[in-house]
Structure 1
Amino acid sequence: MGVRQWIVVILMILLNALDGFDVLSSAFASPGISKEWGIERSELGVMLSAELVGMGFGSVILGSAADKYGRKITMLICLVVMAIGMWMAHDAQSLWPLTTWRFITGLGIGGMLAATNAVVAETTSKASRSLAMALYVIGYPIGGVVGGFAAQSWLLVDYDWRAVFLFGAIVTAVMIPLVVLLVPETPAFYAARRPVDALAKINKSLRALQQAAIDALPEIRQEGPKPKVTDILSKPGLRKVTWLLAFGYMFHTLTFYYILKFAVQIVADSGFSQPEAASTLTYANIGGAVGGAIFGFALKKWDIKGPTIAMLFLGVVAVAWFGTGHDTLGQWRFAGFLTMFCLNAAIVGYYAAFARGFPAYARATGTGFVLGVGRAGAAGSPIIAGFLFDALGKSELLTVSLIMCFGSIMGAVLLWILPIRDADQDIMAAEKAA
């Protein structure tokens, strides 16, 4: 791993951090929105889920675009969509226009996640890939941490909830020229797509990454079926991996986003101010970053499956403890830290499985499809939690929390039966045998 490769990885971490802030911006703003417009938790839950629904569509639609047209151009399109969505959200005058713009922002975030995941996998060495992927994943909670500190100490103190979205729009726009100047298209994309002058384009990418050029590309066997991105749903082995990853991730996000989306509102309803409640989510994201980083180093020593299942069950315990309620702000902060420490570590495990389970020619498509299906759980999480609170009452925090824990339990079960193999190595072995 050269310096130039790590620069690309760092930029992907920053883009993931941007995604993390953009997603959580509505959670930071939710107490102010609820107070200004006088909306119930069920209505608030619909708004909070809007960008998650958009992320589902964006992951599938723009994820496949990254495999067809390129990782870099897809990331640039997503940044433009996100910047426009955040800018328009800050100017919304009622709930439904705000919900619409949050959905549009989610389209860009979903496509961004699929493309950046592929870039990290394809610009890193095999030995450093798990660590780089873990660092990439913890960018998401780091974005929440930075955004949380900005919200609680500045934006929500000196301004109102609209400033949170405006801040996100400005930072998103700043990232566009950085991607243009510093991120090359990946060699793996050109090797998989074989465009005109593929060798020259691959060597240009390799030079940008400060790697040695190659003299020729391996020949593509003409006999037999050619690989297609649709193989993730048509080839028996890949199909099984795709669906188990998709539904396992979907169930886990049901629990994961319950904390991310409702923690601020729960703490605010227990008697704390908006900046104080926002600080709980900041500490939760610190826990997510720390847990993800430690777990990433652990994956260099252990395999993916066992440690990830362990963190899923520890996350269930932590969410249940969060649901018991707490008296002091320090206790709420620690509860948030602990829940996301475990839950985001499990997310790192899933992302490592994405990078290993899909071959290069369909990596962004496979990742995008899994993320798209997964967003059903993410989008459903605040809606389900909102209706549970309305039906059972705000005092039934523990009951609601225990119900929402079901997602991570199912995620652990599906991961247990998942065969985790290196798809690229399997393809190379098959071609060598042929």
Structure 2
Amino acid sequence: MEKDPRAFVSERPMAPIQIAAVVLCVVLNALDGFDVLSISFASPGVAAEWGIDRAALGIVLSMELIGMAAGSVVLGSLADRWGRRPIVLFCLTVMAAGMGLAAVAPDVGTLSAYRLITGLGIGGMLATTNAVVAEFANARRRQLAVALMAGGYPLGAIVGGSISSLLLLDGGDWRAIFVFGAIVATVLIPVVWLFLPETVAFLVERRPTRALERTNAVLRRIGADKVGALPEIDAAGARPGVAALFQPALARTTILLTFAYFAHVMTFYFILKWIPKIVVDMGFEPARAGSVLVWANVGGALGALALSLLTQRYAVRSLVVGAMLLAAVLVTLFGRGQSDLAGLSLMAGAAGFFTNAAIVGLYAVFAQSFPTAVRAGGTGFVVGIGRGGSALGPILAGYLFQTGVGLQGVAVAMAMGSLLGALALLSLRAPATSPST
């Protein structure tokens, strides 16, 4: 009997092409991290140039999150139908265009529209790269690989934030931040075209044109023998589409994961979106405010690495619940404020450590919970609905600030998201359908 080609990927030690696919997805997620936070780095300059208040700025800060909601759901679902590789390329093109257009926006309304466009590409990329990594990694390293991929997000924020701070020195124009992002996205398009093949799992599940030939081409690159035929498709298995996520086998998982992500990401984006403006309002220079946000992401990167390594020994769901509970505590402590940049940076880094560790772990839970046929679509739905709702985080914080609530009160309110997310994950059962490779 012909061996299932997915077993070659799942059971063998990871070949260079598999490692390269994971590394490339880490880079793509790093670009996502920078693109999302680019408006945070630019926000003091935007507010100063166009004279907008905190409530209006909260809306601008949330626009790409709304775009990410649509991009995650729609493009994630299309990645399950059309393939991982073409959607990654499409998302990169959209991100390059959106960042380039933001650099020439003449007013706040136009900038908001361009951030919405950028968010479409970011959302689709997050959903699709999660599936790519889960399907290129072997079974032994899958959770580690997915967690490392998600850890690319704060890495991009650290590197991009450091570059942004340099671009803003001596009164630098905030538009240069978006120009930088557009250039990086454009450069990555040919890299993905050349070095990221379609996943074997998708080719076996969906049988696109020349599926057998393309499967054997990938198997050859991982050093495996070619197969003479693809295995029979399980007609009773999950099929692509949002409706499949609410069938009895997956409905509870989909709902609880969506709520957990929705609630925790509200907390996560309160920290990431408002740090620069909070620091500037305390009397520090915009370039110094960017450095505090960088430290929040340094903490996030360390949290991602720590959780990635711990997944090799401990159940990922338990790790995420613990990280969420500690995130609620640290965000509350961040709200007490500090008298100097060193103290602010330390608290921001600690809050970033636990908030991002939980985000990284959630991506591993998604890959573990959804089968191949709906993996990108399931991740996309959870990320899309969760991030769409999380757009309320910066808006709600802006409203609370505008009505006179102090930083401590706003921080306590926003920290509740992580607490609720932890409670939702504690209610999660193992999915009825085991995810295939």
2:208 maps to 1:234: no
CA distance in 2, matches of 1:240, 1:233: 9
- Aligned twin of 2:428: 418
Change (3 A) 1:226 1:304: closer
Aligned pairs for 1:29-428 (under 5 A) are 29-157=42-170, 159-221=172-234, 225=236, 227-230=238-241, 232-393=244-405, 396-421=406-431, 423-424=433-434
CA distance in 2, matches of 1:115, 1:215: 29
- Once superposed, which parts of structure 1, at least 4 consecutive aligned residues long, lie more than 6 Å away? none
- Aligned twin of 1:13: 26
For residue 233 of structure 1, report the CA deviation from its aligned partner.
2.9
SS for the counterpart of 1:126 is coil
CA distance in 1, matches of 2:391, 2:231: 43
CA distance in 2, matches of 1:228, 1:418: 22
CA distance in 1, matches of 2:376, 2:390: 20
Gaps of 5+ in 1: 429-434
SS for the counterpart of 1:236 is coil
For residue 421 of structure 1, report the CA deviation from its aligned partner.
4.5
RMSD of Structure 2 on Structure 1 (CA)? 1.5
For residue 130 of structure 1, report the CA deviation from its aligned partner.
1.1
For residue 372 of structure 1, report the CA deviation from its aligned partner.
0.6
Q: Quick check: 2:61–2:273 contact (8 Å CA) kept in 1? A: yes
CA distance in 2, matches of 1:77, 1:219: 30
Length-normalised TM-score, structure 2: 0.94
Q: Quick check: 2:245–2:374 contact (8 Å CA) kept in 1? A: no
CA distance in 2, matches of 1:221, 1:410: 37
Question: Partner letter of residue 378 of structure 2?
Answer: G
Q: Quick check: 2:238–2:371 contact (8 Å CA) kept in 1? A: no
- Aligned twin of 1:431: none
CA distance in 2, matches of 1:186, 1:227: 18
Q: Quick check: 1:110–1:368 contact (8 Å CA) kept in 2? A: yes
Question: Partner letter of residue 160 of structure 1?
Answer: D
Question: Partner letter of residue 270 of structure 2?
Answer: Y
Change (3 A) 1:232 1:376: same
CA distance in 2, matches of 1:375, 1:145: 21
Question: Partner letter of residue 407 of structure 1?
Answer: G
For residue 178 of structure 1, report the CA deviation from its aligned partner.
0.4
Length-normalised TM-score, structure 1: 0.94
Q: Quick check: 1:145–1:285 contact (8 Å CA) kept in 2? A: yes
- Aligned twin of 2:11: none
* Cα-to-partner distance string for 1:230-257 (whole Å, 9 max, x where unaligned): 3543321211111111111000001000
CA distance in 2, matches of 1:210, 1:21: 35
Q: Quick check: 1:138–1:293 contact (8 Å CA) kept in 2? A: yes
Q: Quick check: 2:167–2:176 contact (8 Å CA) kept in 1? A: no
Give the number of equivalent residue pairs: 423
Gaps of 5+ in 2: 1-13
Question: Partner letter of residue 111 of structure 1?
Answer: G
CA distance in 1, matches of 2:433, 2:304: 24
